[in-house]
Every structure is written in structure tokens, then in C-alpha cells.
């Protein structure tokens, strides 16, 4: 403990900052791993990734975030309605249906 206190203040601040970065990376990696389904992982077993993240520390979290995740499947976007129809729908939502629409 005395050797640690003998370090300059700047070194202690740097060590503290590195400790904060390490903890934040671990928490972010573990939270992402918890929420991510197994089919979006390169190694299907979550317990393997938990061991890598916790035992290899900062490098394990970086490995998981870089190579451990598969990208999410793309969702097909439906074609947008014509501009006139979008404008009419927006106007109806803001001001209510027009009288000529109610009569139909």
C-alpha cells in the first residue's frame, strides 16, 4: 500500500481512470450479452462469453464487443405511401377527418 501511495498524483489519477474504463467495459459487455439472443452470438453458449469477459478482464470485454456479436437481422422496410397520402393522413390526424371523407 505504501508503494501505491508513493506514486505521483497523475499516475494515481490515470490508474483510477483505467479502473473506471475497465469496469464500464465489463458492465456494458455483460449487459449486452444478457439482452442478446443466442442466435446473435458467434459462440452460442453465453457462459463461455461470461467467462471470457470476466477472466480476461478488459481484453475479454473488447473481444466480445468486437467479434462476439453477430449483426441483427435486417428488417424489411415497407414502401412509403405517396407524399399526397402521407400529407392527407397527417392533416386528418391533426385536424380530424375532412367533411368529404365523412360523407363517403
pLDDT in tens, the chain (104 residues): 677 778 888 988 998 999 999 999 999 999 999 998 888 888 878 999 999 999 998 899 999 999 988 876 666 767 777 888 888 888 888 888 877 755 55
- Domain limits for position 25: 1-72
Distance CA 13, CA 85 (A): 59
Angle (nearest 5°) at CA 16 between 58 and 47: 25
DSSP string covering 5-40, please?
HTS-HHHHHHHHHHHHHHHHHHHHHHHHHHHS-GGG
Q: Is residue 83 in a domain? A: no
Q: Give Cβ neighbours of residue 94 (< 8 Å, ≥ 6 apart).
A: none
Domain count, the chain: 1
Q: Is residue 2 in a domain? A: yes
Amino acid at each position: 500500500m505504501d508503494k501505491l501511495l508513493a506514486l505521483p498524483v497523475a499516475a494515481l489519477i490515470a490508474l483510477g481512470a483505467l479502473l473506471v474504463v475497465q469496469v464500464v467495459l465489463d458492465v456494458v459487455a455483460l449487459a449486452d450479452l444478457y439482452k442478446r439472443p443466442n442466435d446473435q452470438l458467434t459462440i452460442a453458449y453465453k457462459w463461455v462469453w461470461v467467462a471470457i469477459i470476466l477472466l480476461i478482464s478488459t481484453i475479454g470485454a473488447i473481444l466480445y464487443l468486437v467479434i462476439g456479436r453477430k449483426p441483427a437481422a435486417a428488417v424489411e422496410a415497407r414502401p412509403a405511401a405517396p407524399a399526397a397520402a402521407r400529407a392527407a393522413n397527417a392533416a386528418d390526424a391533426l385536424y380530424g377527418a375532412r367533411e368529404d371523407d365523412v360523407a363517403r
